[in-house]
Amino acid sequence: MLYREALNKAIDESMAADNSVVILGEDVGRYGGSYRVSEGLFSKYGEKRVIDTPIAELSIVGNAIGMAIAGLRPIAEIMTANFSLLAMDQIINHASKFRYMSGGKMTIPLTIRMPGGVSRQLAAQHSENYETLYSSVPGLIVLAASNATYAYYGLKSAIFMNDPVVFLEHELLYPMDMEFKEIKNFDPFKAEVVKEGKDLTIITYLKMRYDVLEAQKALQKAGIDAEIIDLNSLRPIDIETIAKSIKKTKKCVIVEEDHKTGGMGAEIAAQIMENCFYDLDAPVLRIAGEDVPIPYNRKLELLSIPTPEKIVKKILKWKAENGI
């Protein structure tokens, strides 16, 4: 199943099951969405439930919050995470706080979908990762879908939560054909052990999952049997699954596309220090994007983010430096 088809299926089934579910955003209606995620929904559910909006992200999220307060379950689509900066006041200062400021009398069952990450030569203003910004905000749930199975089950779960969810996607994943697994008793906050191993735990999420899987082939040839964990949920983080793996492997590497300074890996590493310090045989290694705005030039763009080759090189260097 294509990644975008899994997202479409989740929205379609949710809208069919509950008339309060609506979707709004730029080009989500007649055009079917910038990445074809809402394709076919306009003709099926009509303009009152599949709503084309002006190019105004603050308005999209603000209107969605109003819908949620009034009893609907809106899905607000932001064309890219980069444009979500224009809606930050509504997301952070309103959606995340209303439940608390109303003493629990008001809930905001709102899902804000947005793709982010480095695609291919879209340059600095269209290539950022902002998961760290949203994951640092109390009152928000942040989920990150790296595969068709989680895209489907995770998005359906998000739509029917009673608190605001930032649902992160990656632009390069939409056309990817992926295995789809039927899951009973799905837990959106549970990390996935993608591959079991005994020598090293690698924690990752979103598109980096595939770079890590490619890298592990070379690591295997070098005699390193890596366990790979895909976080799925960035707020909250499933530290229990991480701790269980580190207790076995004694070593941990975090791979993220985000910038290193203040990136998601810093928070993950901090939680590992708090929970797993005495199980570690070496300092946690963070492999992340460089601390630069993403360049347009393709060679520079690839130099600014982790690639399978870089992941292998950095792990082997870290292993040698720490005598492990």
Which residues carry out catalysis?
A: 57, 126
The CA-atom distances, in angstroms, between 119 and each of 2, 131, 301, 302 are 17, 16, 9, 10
Under 8 Å between Cβ of 191 and 229: yes
Question: 222 is written with which tokens?
Answer: 């070098």
Question: 56 is written with which tokens?
Answer: 């105004």
In Å, how far from its chain's centre is CA 36? Answer: 19
Question: 31 is written with which tokens?
Answer: 């055009």
- In the sheet where 50-52 sits, what is the strand order? 50-52, 21-25, 73-77, 111-116, 165-170, 141-144, 233-235
Cα 249 from Cα 227, distance rounded (Å):
8
Cα 257 from Cα 253, distance rounded (Å):
13
Under 8 Å between Cβ of 148 and 180: yes
